[in-house]
Structure 1
Amino acid sequence: MHEPSNVRIEHDAFGPIEIPADRYWGAQTQRALGVFEIGEERFPSSLIRAFGLQKLAAARANRRLGALDRILAAAIEAAAREVWEGRFDDHFPLRVWQTGSGTQTNMNANEVIANRANESLGQPLGSRRPIHPNDHVNCSQSSNDSFPTVMHLCTGLELRDRLLPALAWLRDTLAAKAAEFDDVVKIGRTHLMDAVPMTVGQAFGAFASQIGHGIERIEATAPRLYRLAQGGTAVGSGLNAPVGFDQAFCDEVVALSGLPVVPNPCKFEGMGAHDALIEVSGSLNVLAASLIKIANDIRLLGSGPRCGLGELVIPDDGLSSSIMPGKRNPTIAEALVQAAFQVMGNHATISAAGASGTFELNVAKPVLIHNLLQSIRLLADGSYVFAGKLVRDLAVDRDRLAENVSKALLLATVLNPILGYDCVATITRKAMAEGLTPRAAAIALGVMTGEQYDRIVDPAAMTTPKTPEDR
């Protein structure tokens, strides 16, 4: 129980309720706190702040269309802007696990903004006048169109401002390594076994290409992501919203945030289904797979340093083993792989949540956006750390690479057009069986001289395709 001096009594349609005196939320939020006592997970600040943007744009649109008094609208706009700026993050206490429409969090936003707006007009918290959380802050809106709109807004902002810059830096860092290692010859591997020569730069070029494709996949979701359900109100028909509210709202969001949003021409689809968000998650799932492949390749190529492949030199992160002094592990790569596993699991949850639309309303919105925002954050943070604390300072062990190339049996593959497959197979079998180099085996078999072998078998030249005239 709160001390009387630490609470205020607020009234709504369900009667009086005690609320901590210094909290800006209202009766519905307080009641929800006592109902949804499941887990500890709360929405990230990105979603809370996107609600501030959504309520600000709605108030401006309502004022433009004459649905909201100018003085009241100005107070709501100022309060909503403060929420957008993050000044009221601590006043959103609800857990993710709530009504599937996200109604409680929408009400939380309405109450915080109404209380802050009334305070700016000289009224005490909980007065609900002259600004009412439902009649004014929620004017022309429903939770059913506002929450999905916020889902799209915060996803768009997090992709634009957090994930895509991180991926661009990782792509460019990998590309820089590709250029740095362009002249370093290594043995390629297929089926985990030795193959033919390539350069370390070519391997890193492939990594950079994977991340570049990941960026393209995310950007390709934009036409669907930026269609907003706002204006559909309860079921998609627009009941209680003025004509043109959807377009006015989108105009305000564009002006405020720069996101290229447009009204969803079928708001029934935008509220009953969340296919666009599943599509975004799908692009993140592919990205997670790419990052796992890249991180695992790098840590395997750096394995050792003395008893593994040891071709890459992974930078020291200052961490070590609890029992083996001085042992260095590829910790950053391992952390990134684990984050990517979580993203893959999140995609399964998002897919199930996205399939949970029943008739005109999807009723798994909170868990869907909770997982999607976590995926974006994990991939962004993981990419920044991976690029800045591992990839950027990677080095190669040129001596180890040169030794590996000199011993490679399958350098002889370049002789196929000259000697034929079966003859080259005989060379490699003899070399393997007797511990010879393929050069020595070819000479011992009498199929060519050492001079002929050296003229044809050039590992560096084998890393790029040749025209018939070059052969």
Structure 2
Amino acid sequence: MTNPEAYRVEQDSMGDRQLPDTAYYGIQTLRAIENFPISGLKPLPTYVDACVLIKKATAIANGELNCITPEISQAIVQAANEVLNGKLRDQFVVDVYQAGAGTSHHMNVNEVLANRALEILGDVKGNYKRLNPNDHVNYGQSTNDVIPTAIRIGGLLALERSLYPALSGAITALEAKAQEFQDVIRSGRTHLQDAVPVRLGDNFRAWAQILSEHLIRIETASKDLMILGLGGSAAGTGLNTHPQYRFRVAEILSDLIDQPLRPAPNLMAAMQSMAPFVNVSGSLRNLAQDCVKISHDLRLLDSGPKTGFKEIQLPPVQPGSSIMPGKYNPVMAEMTSQVCFQVMGYDTAIAFAAQAGQLELNVMMPLIAYDLIHSIEILGNTIAALAEKGIKGITANRDRCLAYAEGSLALVTALNTHIGYLNAATVAKESLETGKSLREIVLERGLMDAKTLAEVLNLEQMSQLPD
């Protein structure tokens, strides 16, 4: 057993340092902890998973190719499996804002796996002569090809675990409400002014379609993440790698995450360009912008209850005021907008970081890794929460919707083809000034007969979408 009060001494090219023997990380991680007390933010669990999956795949491939011994390969794989199953998660400790390219986090992963693998072999942590973080866990690899690959794997994992299920669930919830509210007629509004009548169900159906189209866009963008630069080593030349390594490791990773991964046709290009991440981030920003619009629409339609639209009732999930009793706010929609603003900000940061590379390397990858994966996960969590606690429980105020629709001056639009635009405008103006209904004025002026007028001002017909 490890003595919690015991220490070990490790050495790197800069000298010796003492570490608590309870720590599975090593001397390079310790230096990073000391150098980067910046935000308190630690690597995202999904990003850790991605890095450890890469180390598992590379250990298998290098073992098969006789680049490391079967004993060492198996020990690294077992250590990786333990981490993937939830052990030693507190050992990944380097701040998000760290050394360029992600070397500090990368060595944190190498050291944790090396020290746990040593224990599996019956040895002690820190005995790197037998199993070394650089020479064995990192055989044939470099931060420069591992980290961009980890961003790809982490992005794909986050999409599958979080965003795709959330979008699918929200689309289903919106379509269910579209069906429920299909017979509810409300006044449309353009420029926040009265417009022609629409169906409340069609509003929800339009939102479902918008999210469906975003899902397709994101899935298309994510295909860029499936092309790996792993095997490029330090500069894209594949120095110190087996000729078959990059092909075999792509096959193994494909099986591990159930995605059709493949080596990039040009490893140097795959390591230098951050375009795949910018592309995915842009698709997330695009989704976020429409989610803000939808959340604002929900808030408007629920505004009131006495002095706003109040055409729908969002489910009350918590008291809305510390001073006003009985107040309930559209908190799920409010939260959605805030998260979407954050995603848009992350997209801007990713764009700046992506263009900041020089020659063979982009050193801003730690920022891209955190912002991209975090964007996917918080957006997925937000959409799932909005669907569950915001959309599914919505009810329609049918009487209020109908009253607004029947009282809208925009109904006069349907008269254009019968009495002409100018006559219709005159009727609308008189209605607004006198309070008389459109029907009364049209009949008083003899512009249409009662039967035709009733047919033209049929709200059911006016709000029907074309096939």
Identify whether the pair has TM-score above 0.5, normalized to the shorter chain: yes
Aligned to 2:200: 200
Q: Map 1:42-81 onto structure 2 (within 5 A).
A: 42-81=42-81
Deviation track 1:192-234 (CA, whole Å, cap 9, x = no partner) reads 1111011001111111111111101110013311111100000
**Cα gap change, 1:465/1:378 in structure 2, threshold over 3 Å: closer, same or farther?**
closer
Q: Quote how far apart the aligned CAs of 1:84 are.
A: 2.4
Contact 2:314–2:330 at 8 Å: present in 1 too? yes
Q: Quote how far apart the aligned CAs of 1:129 are.
A: 3.6
Q: Take 1:141 and 1:121, find their aligned partners in 2: how far apart are those partners?
A: 23
3-state SS, counterpart of residue 18 of structure 2: strand
1:319 lines up with 2:340 in the alignment: no
Q: Take 2:26 and 2:265, find their aligned partners in 1: how far apart are those partners?
A: 34
Contact 2:235–2:268 at 8 Å: present in 1 too? yes
| TM-score (norm. length: structure 1) | 0.96
Aligned to 1:138: 138
Deviation track 1:261-285 (CA, whole Å, cap 9, x = no partner) reads 1111111122112100010000000
Q: Take 1:430 and 1:404, find their aligned partners in 2: how far apart are those partners?
A: 19
Q: Map 1:334-373 onto structure 2 (within 5 A).
A: 334-373=334-373
Aligned to 1:261: 261
Contact 1:186–1:200 at 8 Å: present in 2 too? yes
Q: Quote how far apart the aligned CAs of 1:412 are.
A: 2.1
**Cα gap change, 1:136/1:303 in structure 2, threshold over 3 Å: closer, same or farther?**
same
3-state SS, counterpart of residue 94 of structure 1: coil
Q: Take 2:210 and 2:27, find their aligned partners in 1: how far apart are those partners?
A: 50
Long gaps (5+) in structure 1: none
Q: Map 1:3-402 onto structure 2 (within 5 A).
A: 5-402=5-402
Aligned to 2:422: 422
Return the letter of the residue paired with 2:318: G
Deviation track 1:379-412 (CA, whole Å, cap 9, x = no partner) reads 0111011000010000110110111122111212
Aligned to 1:457: 457
Q: Take 2:25 and 2:354, find their aligned partners in 1: how far apart are those partners?
A: 29
Q: Take 1:109 and 1:465, find their aligned partners in 2: how far apart are those partners?
A: 56
Contact 1:288–1:344 at 8 Å: present in 2 too? yes
Q: Take 1:214 and 1:387, find their aligned partners in 2: how far apart are those partners?
A: 16
**Cα gap change, 1:424/1:19 in structure 2, threshold over 3 Å: closer, same or farther?**
same
User: After the TM superposition, which of the residue ranges 443-452 and 169-178 deviates more from structure 2?
Assistant: 443-452
3-state SS, counterpart of residue 320 of structure 2: coil
Q: Quote how far apart the aligned CAs of 1:369 are.
A: 1.1
Q: Take 1:209 and 1:442, find their aligned partners in 2: how far apart are those partners?
A: 39
Deviation track 1:153-207 (CA, whole Å, cap 9, x = no partner) reads 0111101121110111011111111111111111111111111011001111111
3-state SS, counterpart of residue 11 of structure 2: strand
Q: Take 1:398 and 1:306, find their aligned partners in 2: how far apart are those partners?
A: 15
3-state SS, counterpart of residue 9 of structure 2: strand
Q: Take 1:230 and 1:262, find their aligned partners in 2: how far apart are those partners?
A: 10
Q: Take 1:377 and 1:456, find their aligned partners in 2: how far apart are those partners?
A: 50
Q: Quote how far apart the aligned CAs of 1:356 are.
A: 1.2
Deviation track 1:243-292 (CA, whole Å, cap 9, x = no partner) reads 02111001001112212211111111221121000100000000100100
Contact 1:50–1:84 at 8 Å: present in 2 too? no
Identity of aligned residues (%): 37
3-state SS, counterpart of residue 197 of structure 1: strand
Long gaps (5+) in structure 2: none
Return the letter of the residue paired with 2:96: V
Q: Quote how far apart the aligned CAs of 1:42 are.
A: 1.6
| TM-score (norm. length: structure 2) | 0.97
Return the letter of the residue paired with 1:184: V
Q: Take 1:276 and 1:47, find their aligned partners in 2: how far apart are those partners?
A: 17
3-state SS, counterpart of residue 392 of structure 2: helix
Return the letter of the residue paired with 1:401: C
Q: Quote how far apart the aligned CAs of 1:346 are.
A: 0.5
Q: Take 2:465 and 2:160, find their aligned partners in 1: how far apart are those partners?
A: 39
Kindly tell me the number of residue pairs found equivalent between the two proteins.
465
User: After the TM superposition, which of the residue ranges 113-122 and 126-135 deviates more from structure 2?
Assistant: 126-135
Q: Quote how far apart the aligned CAs of 1:37 are.
A: 2.4
Contact 1:123–1:129 at 8 Å: present in 2 too? no
Contact 1:171–1:211 at 8 Å: present in 2 too? yes
Contact 1:51–1:83 at 8 Å: present in 2 too? no
Q: Quote how far apart the aligned CAs of 1:455 are.
A: 2.5
Q: Take 2:456 and 2:4, find their aligned partners in 1: how far apart are those partners?
A: 92
Return the letter of the residue paired with 2:422: D
Q: Take 1:152 and 1:339, find their aligned partners in 2: how far apart are those partners?
A: 22
Q: Quote how far apart the aligned CAs of 1:465 are.
A: 5.5
Contact 2:4–2:22 at 8 Å: present in 1 too? no
Q: Take 1:117 and 1:334, find their aligned partners in 2: how far apart are those partners?
A: 47
Q: Quote how far apart the aligned CAs of 1:367 are.
A: 0.7
CA RMSD in angstroms, aligned pairs only: 1.5
Contact 2:79–2:116 at 8 Å: present in 1 too? yes
Q: Quote how far apart the aligned CAs of 1:432 are.
A: 1.2
Contact 1:51–1:84 at 8 Å: present in 2 too? no
Q: Quote how far apart the aligned CAs of 1:4 are.
A: 9.5
Return the letter of the residue paired with 1:21: D
Q: Take 2:414 and 2:466, find their aligned partners in 1: how far apart are those partners?
A: 11
Q: Quote how far apart the aligned CAs of 1:466 are.
A: 7.0
